[in-house]
Amino acid sequence: MSFVGKVWKILVGIKDGLVLLFMLLFFVALFGILSARPNPGQVRDGALLIDLSGIVVEEKSALDPIEALLSRSAPVGETRSRDVVRGLDAAATDERVKAVVLDLTTFLGGGQVHLKDIGEAMDRVRKAGKPVLTYGKAYADDHMLLAAHASEVWLDPIGVAVISGPGGMNLYYAGLLEKLAINARVYRVGEYKSAAEPWSRSSMSDEARANIGGLYGALWEEYKANVTRARPRLQLAKVTGDPKTWIESSGGDMAEAARAAGLVDKLGDRAQFGARVAELAGKDQWNEKPGSFAASDLGAYLADLGESRAGKKIGVVTIAGEIVDGKAGPGIAGGTRIADLLDEALDDDLAALVVRIDSPGGSVTASEEIRRAIQRYRDRKIPVAVSMANIAASGGYWVATPGERIFAEPETVTGSIGVFAVIPTFEQAAARLGVAADGYRTTPLSGQPDVIGGFTPAMDTLLQTTIGGTYKDFLALVSKARRMPVERVDAIAQGQVWDGGTARQNGLVDEFGGLRDALAWAAVKAGAKDGEWHAVYLGERAQSYDSLIRQLVTREEAQAPAAASGDLFAMTALRSESLGARLARDAERLTGTRGIQAFCLECPARPGVQNAPATPPKGMLALLAWLTGG
Q: Which of 515, 553, 560 is nearest to 52 (CA)?
A: 560
Element (H, E) at 391: strand 384-393
Mark whether 394 is an active-site residue. yes
Q: Which of 328, 400, 405, 325 is nearest to 358 (CA)?
A: 400
Query: Of residues 394, 416, 479, 565, which has the active-site annotation?
Result: 394
Those residues with Cβ within 8 angstroms of residue 156's Cβ, 6 or more apart along the chain or in another chain: 136, 137, 255, 267, 268, 269, 270, 566
What residue type is 261 in one-letter code?
Answer: A
Tell me which DSSP letter residue 169 carries.
Answer: P
Q: Which of 259, 228, 77, 248 is nearest to 160 (CA)?
A: 259
Strand partners, 387: 356, 407
Helix axes of 206-230 and 112-127: crossing angle, nearest 10 degrees: 10
Q: Which of 63, 610, 62, 111 is nearest to 357 (CA)?
A: 111
Tell me which DSSP letter residue 40 carries.
Answer: G
H-state helical runs in 387-525 = 395-398, 427-432, 457-482, 486-492, 500-506, 515-525
Query: Of residues 98, 116, 137, 193, which has the active-site annotation?
Result: 193
Tell me which DSSP letter residue 195 carries.
Answer: G
Residue 462 — φ and ψ, nearest 5°? -60, -45
Residue 287 — φ and ψ, nearest 5°? -140, 120
Those residues with Cβ within 8 angstroms of residue 450's Cβ, 6 or more apart along the chain or in another chain: 425, 437, 456
Residue 230 contacts residue 120 (beta carbons within 8 Å): no
Q: Which of 570, 614, 574 is nearest to 594 (CA)?
A: 614
Residue 421 — φ and ψ, nearest 5°? -155, 150
CA atoms within 13 A on the CB side of 309: 2
The Cβ of residue 449 has, within 10 Å, a number of other Cβ atoms equal to: 23
Residues with catalytic roles: 193, 394
